[in-house]
Structure 1
Amino acid sequence: MYPVAIVGAGPGDPELLTVKAYKRIKEADIILHDNLVSDSILSINERGENVYVGRKFGDTSDQIARQKKINELLQKNYLLGKKVVRLKSGDPYVYGRAAEEARYLTEKNTPFEVIPGISAALAAANIFNIPITERNKSNAMLICTAHTADYSFEQLTGIAHMLKAGNTISIYMGLKSLHRIVPKLLDVCKDPTIPVSIASRVSREDQAILTGTLGTIQDLVANSDLQMPAVLLVGATPIQ
């Protein structure tokens, strides 16, 4: 029997898949895929069944029940002898909830493999020439989510002090939370000139980037038509 493959689909461009990810997708009998996986990647498989198990922004369905169903589908189709792929956008272990599926499969003694994918922040940094680490400028990058806005004061202070020290912060799923994130970073850093880039639909045909500062980015977004998904890169300036 074939191990369940938990696969990172990267940001959307099929040419950015790993060779192993491409093979698993192409050979799959069934693919359980998330919302942000591109059609061009799903079309690699011409023989199997595609099952949508994702969620979109604003989806109020019960996440625990949804994840339970996904776990059970992975196990059920594995026992049927199928080549099962759980396909996630970006990297499975970067906000991909792969841990819950890996633990479930481990408890069920079901063999599985996890195949890395290029995460959105790394894809955006390279595609838009944003040096998220650079000698004598930044020696670290912190990955966090829009839930930054809900962190405790101690956590937010630590994040902001990294930024203030010259390091880079990437914020996933933050486009709709700028009104909470930016004021809190400004309150701690007290520097409205810190650069901010927002990369939208990275690696796809309609990808876009908006660049400003902590002091200007909210107004720039308000006058733009940036689309989700988007990732924020704070503290590094694009090379132009």
Structure 2
Amino acid sequence: MTGCVYLVGSGPGNPELLTVKARRLIEESDVVLHDTLPGPEILDSIPETKREDVGKRAGGEWTPQEYTNRRLVELAEEGKTVVRLKGGDPFVFGRGGEEAEHLAEHGIDVEYVPGVTSAIAGPGVAGIPVTHRDHASSVSFVTGHEDPTKDESAIDWAALAATGGTIVVLMGVGKLPMYTDELVSAGMAPETPVALVERATWPNQRVALGTLGTIVDVRDERGIEPPAVTVIGDVAATRAEVAEFLRNDAESEETET
């Protein structure tokens, strides 16, 4: 019998934010193909005998998507129950849609299991709501890591600058100078608050605050690295009002410029 593939979101990395269904499927599965973003505590809880690392690391080693697609089909055709474990949510810049289509093309049953997306959880644990009645009535989620084979970017930074809402960029630490310049050139004020939340919900979470005009220097001074979420907009400044009282923020380091 052909097996089934579960596209599972692990949330932002804290094991307590893994859903009950995700944990059950991981325990019942024969194989877990995982990215690097589920977080060390979650990955360490999975027996090494059934873990396969197919992750991608910015500027480092990476597993081609074609290999991952092929491996999912191979395992399912062997009758295995497979968990494809992704950071955040599989369908929020996680290529879950592509994998689901590939599995369907090969006649493999697939089930989507939602996860807490870091696009909301990352800012949230830093005391930053992505929407706020006084500051932002809309939020745009943007990838900072588009398909490198594209002839040109599909992101209209000028349109985003004109929305007046919050902009959340995932996987965008490396390209921070590019899109902050684009937003300022499009008319967004250089004084617009910006926050970088590195390894949100992990034990070594860090938060760095700045503005469109200063955040690149802040990133470099603090050595902020992926995985990190960028939050652009007035909501980023609200952290200052609640940071002292954030119980899940006790170990984060903060820089403000």
Q: Same fold (TM over 0.5)?
A: yes
Deviation at 1:159? 1.1
Residue 107 of structure 2 aligns with which residue? Answer: 109
CA contact (8 A) 1:31 1:48 kept: no
Deviations 1:95-129 (A, max 9, x none): 11111110011112211101111121211122111
Call closer, same or farther: CA 1:201–1:60 in 2, change over 3 Å: closer
Segments of structure 1 that go 5 or more residues without pairing to the other structure are none
Residue 251 of structure 2 aligns with which residue? Answer: none
Residue 85 of structure 2 aligns with which residue? Answer: 87
CA contact (8 A) 1:27 1:45 kept: no
2 CA distance for matches of 1:209 and 1:8? 24
- The code of the aligned residue for 2:50 comes to E
1 CA distance for matches of 2:87 and 2:17? 12
Single out whichever of 50-59 and 192-201 deviates more from structure 2.
50-59
For the pair 1:194 / 2:195, whether they are aligned, the reply is no
- The code of the aligned residue for 2:100 comes to A
Deviation at 1:46? 3.4
Deviation at 1:11? 1.3
Deviations 1:205-236 (A, max 9, x none): 10000011112212222211223211100002
2 CA distance for matches of 1:142 and 1:33? 27
After superposition, the CA RMSD in angstroms is 2.1
CA contact (8 A) 1:197 1:233 kept: yes
1 CA distance for matches of 2:180 and 2:142? 14
1 CA distance for matches of 2:144 and 2:41? 28
Residue 20 of structure 1 aligns with which residue? Answer: 21
CA contact (8 A) 1:175 1:230 kept: yes
Count of aligned pairs between the two proteins: 232
2 CA distance for matches of 1:55 and 1:125? 23
Residue 44 of structure 2 aligns with which residue? Answer: 43
Call closer, same or farther: CA 1:190–1:112 in 2, change over 3 Å: closer
Task: Tell me the secondary structure at the aligned position of residue 24 of structure 1.
Answer: helix
Residue 206 of structure 1 aligns with which residue? Answer: 204
Instruction: Name the % identity.
Output: 35
2 CA distance for matches of 1:46 and 1:58? 28
Task: Tell me the secondary structure at the aligned position of residue 176 of structure 1.
Answer: coil
Q: Which runs of 4+ in 1 moved over 4 A?
A: none
Call closer, same or farther: CA 1:60–1:78 in 2, change over 3 Å: closer
2 CA distance for matches of 1:26 and 1:188? 49
Call closer, same or farther: CA 1:100–1:213 in 2, change over 3 Å: same
Deviation at 1:48? 4.9
1 CA distance for matches of 2:145 and 2:88? 19
TM-score with structure 1 length normalisation? 0.89
CA contact (8 A) 1:29 1:48 kept: no
Segments of structure 2 that go 5 or more residues without pairing to the other structure are 147-151, 243-257
CA contact (8 A) 2:123 2:229 kept: no
- The code of the aligned residue for 2:231 comes to L
TM-score with structure 2 length normalisation? 0.83
Q: How does 1:46-85 map to 2 (within 5 A)?
A: 46=47, 48-59=49-60, 66-85=64-83
Residue 168 of structure 2 aligns with which residue? Answer: 170
Deviation at 1:47? 7.7
Residue 4 of structure 2 aligns with which residue? Answer: 3
Match of 1:151 among 153, 160, 166: 153
